Amino acid sequence: MSQRNRNLPHNAERREDQISGPVVDSIMIAPWSQGALRMPGEYSTGSRPPGHQVKITATNRERCDYETVQLGEPARYSVIVKVWNYNDSPAFADLVLHS
């Protein structure tokens, strides 16, 4: 999906009511928009982020894409997951820790 336009407008809402247990972040991404999930905490080469996965629910899952990004230096960084929704309807994304 790397050929898709990554310059979609940012239009996402955090779904606080969905954040509990292994779900550490949850967003709704408007049609033809992007949003970002955030892993809580800071990490380093000696302290990696916990195992996790991104769960996306959409009318057509193949019309969504995501990328995990480390912001900062190797000695101190945060983790975000950028999510792009190319559907004509909202998509929902959850950042879930592995149990």
26: tokens are 């949850």
Structure tokens at 39: 């892993």
Neighbours of 24 (CB within 10 A): 18
d(CA 42, CA 1): 29
| Radius of gyration for the chain, computed over Cα atoms and rounded to the nearest angstrom | 14
- pLDDT, tens digit, 9 for 90 and up, residues 26-85: 999 999 999 999 999 999 999 999 999 999 999 999 999 999 999 999 999 999 999 999
pLDDT in tens, 16-29: 999 999 999 999 99
Give residue 36's pLDDT: 98
- Kindly list the domain boundaries of the chain, sorted by start residue: 12-97
Q: What does pTM read for this prediction? A: 0.91
